């Protein structure tokens, strides 16, 4: 007896994205942990999943990868456009550490925060609100870099007014030879940024879906809200907005490189991100599973070893 056997007539019937194939998902999650690094036909030849033994290694390795992109483009005297997340966050401390150790400045970097909480009209929290993603970025990355930091005029946040300008700004930078790198985490619902899986139901083709550059006031899936209640608001669901502004596949799938992270372990053997990780690596590109497109791009996906499983019942 399992989920597929009992969902019909249950309170969860119709709750999950209509395009999700749960038999296929179960197959993704049934793989042996030792097989998680096995290359798949749909992976980009320059895509690499990177196993991390613990959260300290994860933060350091992902932060080093971000810092190296900034250093490399600085050495090449080339502009760098970075689509940046608030979650995961621990890598920013290490990115700051390495850049300061190397004396590498970020004057050539243009930051584009990938999402922000909003209301139905796309209005966002005040920049200094403790819950805003802009405040989190200023506190974790831009501020600590000090004199080496990204110039304020090159820091973009996903407000109702600014988010629609991302596509033009990034296109202009790429015309000047800039490199585009997307840093991301994978949501419980396999979203990238807040581009949710149920959005796929609005489009008649993958090509149409891929053209979407952004959305303001996007409706979040209930499990996305609960994920954020757990990870960002100490379980207090009442503080989590039900909508957000977000970049779309028309931006993050244009990346020259991706730097991803899965660190969703909760302790005592509990976790929330194992299924999402396996779906990303095994499901195959599908607009109902946004993260499934990320392995088709060059780059690295860092993940905690324990997320590979085995994903089985454990009541100990």
Per the domain annotation, does 9 fall within a domain? no
Per the domain annotation, does 24 fall within a domain? no
> Which pLDDT does position 71 carry in this prediction?
98
As a whole-number percent, the residues of the chain with pLDDT over 70 amount to 99
Give CA–CA dist 252/5, Å, rounded: 36
Whether pLDDT at 315 is above 90: no
Per the domain annotation, does 33 fall within a domain? no
Q: Are 157 and 136 contacting, i.e. CB atoms less than 8 angstroms apart? A: no
- Following CA atoms 297, 116, 282, 167 in sequence, which dihedral angle do they give, to the nearest 10 degrees? -30
Contacts of 195 (CB under 8 A, 6+ apart): 212, 215, 218, 246, 247, 248, 249, 252, 290
SS3 84: strand
**272-299: per-residue pLDDT in tens?**
999 999 999 999 999 999 999 999 999 9
Whether pLDDT at 13 is above 90: yes
Confidence class of residue 109 from pLDDT cuts 50, 70 and 90? very high
**247-263: per-residue pLDDT in tens?**
999 999 999 999 999 99
Per the domain annotation, does 250 fall within a domain? yes
Q: Which domain holds residue 166?
A: 47-118+130-304
Whether pLDDT at 314 is above 90: no
**224-233: per-residue pLDDT in tens?**
999 999 999 9
**Could you tell me the CA-to-CA distances from 267 to 20, 264, 272 in Å, in that order?**
28, 10, 11
> Which pLDDT does position 316 carry in this prediction?
65
Contacts of 162 (CB under 8 A, 6+ apart): 156
Per the domain annotation, does 11 fall within a domain? no
CATH of the domain at 80: 3.40.50.1360
Q: Are 94 and 123 contacting, i.e. CB atoms less than 8 angstroms apart? A: no
Considering its fold, how many domains does the chain have in total? 1
Per the domain annotation, does 310 fall within a domain? no
**42-88: per-residue pLDDT in tens?**
999 999 999 999 999 999 999 999 999 999 999 999 999 999 999 99
**116-175: per-residue pLDDT in tens?**
999 999 999 999 999 999 999 999 999 999 999 999 999 999 999 999 999 999 999 999
Per the domain annotation, does 23 fall within a domain? no
Per the domain annotation, does 146 fall within a domain? yes
């Amino acid at each position: 007896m399992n989920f597929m056997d009992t969902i019909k007539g249950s309170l969860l019937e119709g709750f999950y994205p209509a395009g999700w194939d749960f038999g296929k998902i179960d197959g993704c999650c049934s793989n042996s942990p030792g097989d998680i690094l096995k290359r798949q036909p749909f992976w980009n030849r320059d895509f690499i999943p990177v196993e991390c033994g613990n959260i300290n290694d994860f933060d350091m390795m992902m932060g080093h990868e971000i810092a190296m992109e900034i250093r490399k483009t600085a050495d090449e005297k080339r502009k760098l456009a970075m689509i940046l997340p608030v979650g995961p966050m621990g890598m920013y401390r290490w990115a700051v550490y390495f850049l300061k150790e190397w004396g590498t400045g970020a004057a050539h970097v243009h930051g584009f925060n990938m999402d922000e909480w909003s209301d139905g009209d796309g209005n966002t929290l005040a920049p200094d609100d403790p819950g805003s993603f802009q405040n989190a970025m200023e506190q974790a990355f831009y501020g600590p870099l000090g004199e080496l930091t990204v110039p304020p005029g090159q820091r973009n946040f996903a407000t109702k007014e600014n988010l629609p300008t991302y596509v033009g700004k990034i296109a202009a930078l790429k015309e000047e030879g800039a490199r585009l790198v997307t840093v991301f985490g994978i949501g419980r619902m396999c979203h990238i940024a807040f581009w949710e899986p149920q959005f796929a139901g609005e489009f008649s083709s993958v090509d149409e879906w891929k053209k979407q550059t952004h959305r303001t006031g996007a409706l979040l899936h209930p499990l996305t809200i609960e994920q954020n209640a757990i990870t960002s608001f100490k379980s207090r669901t009442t503080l989590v907005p039900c909508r957000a502004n977000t970049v779309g596949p028309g931006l993050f799938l244009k990346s020259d490189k991706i730097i991803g992270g899965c660190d969703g372990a909760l302790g005592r053997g509990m976790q929330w991100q194992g299924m999402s990780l396996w779906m990303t690596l095994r499901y195959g590109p599908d607009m109902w599973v946004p993260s499934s497109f990320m392995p088709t791009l060059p780059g690295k996906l860092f993940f905690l070893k324990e997320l590979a499983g085995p994903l089985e019942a454990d009541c100990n």
